[in-house]
Chain A
Amino acid sequence: KQEVTQIPAALSVPEGENLVLNCSFTDSAIYNLQWFRQDPGKGLTSLLLIQSSQREQTSGRLNASLDKSSGRSTLYIAASQPGDSATYLCAVANDYKLSFGAGTTVTVRA
């Protein structure tokens, strides 16, 4: 059974600092890994999807890396802003099923 862990559970940084969010998974036989953002009381918004054959994926200030062999992914958010405050979830795909981590709750202080 796939286990997905996100550390730390919460993070508070001053505006402008770079954010580094970590995700680890136990079964490396994955098809892809996705990063999502969730605002309080809302649904999930997809940020990035990395295929298992890729090492990284970039979108604007976001960059996600994937090391499948070691079971790790890192999401980098450059020059954080208060609007980046949210919970960030990673999810790994084994066939049609996504296994989610518990998330990292980020607070960016103005």
Chain B
Amino acid sequence: DVKVTQSSRYLVKRTGEKVFLECVQDMDHENMFWYRQDPGLGLRLIYFSYDVKMKEKGDIPEGYSVSREKKERFSLILESASTNQTSMYLCASSSTTLATQYFGPGTRLTVT
């Protein structure tokens, strides 16, 4: 079974803090994704990585950056957290670009 884990289930940070969200997958998948999910807006893609050190912007990359130094690990970075980044963050991975995406349990981030 594919396992995607995220470093925290719940996180509370202050405005202006630098925030790191970590995601690890154990199936040697090429592709990894970061989404955020908000009521009324659904899931929106923040960033996508198709290989180590490779990334593509999604629909809402502003205010975020990513890092993929190892194949199994994909990090989402909020350089200076703001209250409008309070959300549920979901990581996913897939073996190929069009294959089934497997999701982690999510991190609920609150920025105060």
User: Residue B50 at the A interface, CB < 8 A?
Assistant: yes
- A45 x B103 contact (CB < 8 A): yes
Instruction: Name, among B40, B56, B59, B103, the residue most crowded by chain A CB atoms within 10 Å (CB to CB).
Output: B103
User: Residue A102 at the B interface, CB < 8 A?
Assistant: yes
Size of interface on B: residues with Cβ below 8 Å to A: 24
- Chain B residues, CB < 8 A from A32: 98
User: Residue B25 at the A interface, CB < 8 A?
Assistant: no
Dominant secondary structure at the B interface? strand
- B98 x A42 contact (CB < 8 A): no
Contact among B48, B58, B101 for A34, CB-based, below 8 A: B101
Contact among A34, A41, A101 for B42, CB-based, below 8 A: A101
**A21 CB to nearest chain B CB (Å):** 15
**A85 CB to nearest chain B CB (Å):** 19
User: Residue B45 at the A interface, CB < 8 A?
Assistant: yes
- B43 x A43 contact (CB < 8 A): no
Contact among A31, A36, A89 for B98, CB-based, below 8 A: A31
Complex CA distance for A32 and B102, rounded to whole angstroms: 15
- Chain B residues, CB < 8 A from A49: 99-100
- Chain A residues, CB < 8 A from B24: none
